[in-house]
Amino acid sequence: ETGVTQSPTHLIKTRGQQVTLRCSSQSGHNTVSWYQQALGQGPQFIFQYYREEENGRGNFPPRFSGLQFPNYSSELNVNALELDDSALYLCASSSRTSGRADEQFFGPGTRLTVL
Amino acid sequence: AQKVTQAQTEISVVEKEDVTLDCVYETRDTTYYLFWYKQPPSGELVFLIRRNSFDEQNEISGRYSWNFQKSTSSFNFTITASQVVDSAVYFCALSEAWGNEKLTFGTGTRLTIIP
């Protein structure tokens, strides 16, 4: 069974640029959630995708957007990067069958540095 | 709104000592889930336990045990006979029972086991 994978591992961008982060969900999982973890903080929920549609969003501006593909993999896009976007971005996958998804399993994260 | 408080920012204990990590939560939901995750230096969040708000039984898994007390809104985690491999940041998290199950994390407790 393949776990959650994320790419790239590290990324350095400058202010104003755009970035795309990728996540492959664990085998058998159909739901993907994205979290932002600033240094020394707990992860903050960005949004969740289920059946290729956004299924809930945290307190993040519209320049944070996402996609989920038919194979359940997902992308997180951030436009107009700001210095405060520097963080570890974590992807989590889970399996939703009816009503509620099971516990979320996290990938290793992508560390984004904005200069 | 949901909130998780982990008042202990950092804890250091000598190997083989027992250690308890505290977690206090706030929610208006009557049904919810509580979690503990471990984050080693590699950055990946490792799932440890999920507890339903209806189940107040304490749980033991090897050297790990969890004490859930709804009356005090606490979900504490104890490691018995600590080992160096237990060194990590530990996060307590809370999610609603329905909807998109977004996780609300505490700020984490950095545990260092001294050999």
**Read out DSSP for A2-39?**
---EEE-SEEEE-TT--EEEEEEPPTT--EEEEEEE-T
Q: What is the pLDDT of residue B99?
A: 66
Measured between beta carbons, the chain B residues lying within 8 angstroms of A103 are 35, 47, 50
Three-state secondary-structure class, residue A84: helix
Q: Across residues A3-11, what is the average pLDDT?
A: 95
pLDDT, tens only, A23-79? 999 888 889 999 999 999 999 999 999 989 998 899 999 999 999 999 999 999 999
The two counts, helices (H) then strands (E), for chain B are 0, 12
Please judge whether B44 and A55 are an interchain contact, meaning their C-beta atoms are less than 8 angstroms apart. no
**How far B45 CA sits from the closest chain A CA (Å)?**
6
pLDDT tens track for A85-94: 999 999 999 8
Cα–Cα distances in angstroms (integers) from residue B40 to residues B3, B13, B48, B84, B86, in the given order: 23, 17, 13, 12, 9
Q: How far does CA B60 lie from the centroid of its chain?
A: 13
Q: Model confidence over B48-100: pLDDT tens digits?
A: 998 888 888 888 889 999 999 999 999 999 999 999 999 999 999 999 876 66
Q: Which member of B44, B99, B101 has the closest CB to residue A106?
A: B44
Q: How confident is the model at residue A99 (pLDDT cuts 50, 70, 90)?
A: low
Rounded CA separation B83/B14 (Å): 9
Sign of CA dihedral B50, B54, B58, B59: negative
Does residue A19 surpass a pLDDT of 70?
yes
Q: Which of A40, A41, A56 sits opposite B102 (nearest CB)?
A: A56
Cβ contact B100–A88 (<8 Å): no
Q: Residue B101 burial (CB < 10 Å; 0-12/13-18/19+)? A: buried
Amino acid sitting at position B1: A
pLDDT at B108: 97
B4 — contact with chain A (CB < 8 Å)?
A: yes
Residue B77 is encoded by which pair of tokens?
């985690």
Tell me how far apart the alpha carbons of residues B48 and B41 are, in angstroms, rounded to a whole number.
Answer: 16
Helices of type H across A31-83: none
> Any CB–CB contact under 8 A between B91 and chain A?
yes
Q: Please give the Cα distance from B28 to B15 (Å, whole number).
A: 39
Shortest distance between the Cα of B114 and any Cα of chain A, in A, equals 21
- Residues of B in Cβ contact (< 8 Å) with A94: 101
What integer best gives the mean pLDDT of chain B? 92
CA-based torsion, B14, B111, B37, B32: positive or negative: positive
Cβ-Cβ contacts under 8 Å, B99 against chain A: 56
